[in-house]
Homo-oligomer: A and B are copies of this chain.
Amino acid sequence: MRDVSIIGIGQTKVDEHWGRSLRHLANDAVLAAMQDARIEAADALYVGNMLSGVLTGQEHLGALIADFVGLRGIEAVKVEAACGSGAAALRLAYGAVAGGLHDLVIVCGVEKMTDTTHAETTTGLMMAADADWESVHGLTFVSINALLMRRYMYEYGVKHADFAGFSVNAHRNAVGNPNAMYPNPVTVEQFTQARMIADPINLLDSSGIGDGAAAVVLCPTHSAQEYRSEGAVRIRASSMATDAVAVHDRPDPLWLSAVQVSSFKAYQQAGAGPQDIDLLEVHDAFTIMSAMSLEAAGFALRGKGVWLAKDGEIAREGRLPICTMGGLKARGHPVGATGVYQVAEVVQQLRGQAGPNQIPNARLGMAQNVGGSGATVITHILEAQD
């Protein structure tokens, strides 16, 4: 199979875009990525999206967006894997280019979550969980994560305040990201005093609901130079794994086995390990997800993920910078778009275009996108290309 590179990226600001519909947001991101890649056509468009059906009455986004961005006629589909939809679309596009099905593929993650009621959005997000066994009891995604966080605190003797570092780090990094929804710094004190959402998860444990779109352009590595003389980024690894959707079906609710499998498949493909990763975009939908992901992905021992936040190792200056552009927490989490934002941000870092948030000498970056409470996990490892 062929090596694959990312030759263009585009992002809209994550925000409440009351004046922009889903197709307009997608258009902004795709055209920016095409301009960045210096292309005017493509073989295919893979769209990552979760909620457009229930929230905007629109499916069939492949053909719709392909037409709207000026690419009427090309192969185009929507890929859905809950909050992992964006990276799932990238994963399939990677396979199509690596395997030779296509030479130039655009991946667009897009989600329009505002301009609707909070009830609709909350219900919509629960479609990522098990409808027959979780949603039916009135659980929401916050409360599923609250159950996990409470259990984690009990099992490992951790206090809620110990998670503060994840939120503080994300907000600090969002300040330097013009695409971030919440570019305001927060303090540990603000974190501990934030209003409760679902005990023990409070407002500052939680990523926000927003609208946004991000896009990347893929081509075989050997032809990346035809499009841009520098700044191409090679996909060193791409992997996906799944787990039971319902948390109670997993032998150990505190162990994200799909994170483990997806991460270690990616390490194997990349010929690299956790110690080689210069920055990590982790799926911090809630602070508890960051702690658990860091453990299952091999960056911390079991029950110790939370201490990476406490000790400051995840800061831009630390040993393992995470959420370097604000993460889901502070850049925002337009669910089906998130996985593509993460990858676009890693590309920014590897190109040296992350502005005040630049991680010095970043060579190898990892992005991990999670669907549901850990049932779908997609991992990409990217490398700066000389």
Contacts and interface: CB of A to CB of B under 8 A. Distances in A.
Interface of A: 1, 21, 23, 50-51, 53-54, 56-64, 66-67, 72-82, 88, 91-92, 95-96, 98-102, 123-124, 126-132, 135, 239-245, 249, 257-258, 261, 371-372, 375-376
Given A54-B53, A60-B375, A131-B57, A257 B73 contact: yes
Nearest to A240: B75
Contacts of A72: 242-244
A383 to B, nearest CB: 20
A75 B241 contact: yes
Contacts of A79: 77-80
Contacts of A135: 57-58
Contact of A50 (B59, B63, B241): B59
The secondary-structure label for the interface of chain A is mixed
Nearest to A262: B75
Contact of A127 (B60, B127, B130, B132): B60
A59 B77 contact: no
A51 B53 CA distance: 8
Contacts of A257: 73
14 contacts: A58-B135, A60-B129, A62-B88, A62-B376, A63-B375, A64-B245, A67-B249, A67-B375, A72-B243, A73-B241, A73-B242, A76-B376, A77-B81, A98-B99
Contacts of A129: 60
Contacts of A99: 1, 95-96, 98-101
A261 B73 CA distance: 8
A307 B75 CA distance: 31
The interface centre, meaning the residue of A56, A92, A244, A261 with most chain B CB atoms within 10 A of its CB, is A92
Nearest to A23: B132
Contact of A95 (B96, B126, B128): B96
Contacts of A74: 241-242
Nearest to A67: B244
A63 B99 CA distance: 24
Nearest to A80: B78
A100 B245 contact: no
Q: Which 6 A-B pairs have the closest CB atoms?
A: A99-B99, A59-B127, A95-B101, A58-B131, A63-B242, A63-B375
The interface centre, meaning the residue of A50, A245, A372 with most chain B CB atoms within 10 A of its CB, is A245
A99 to B, nearest CB: 1
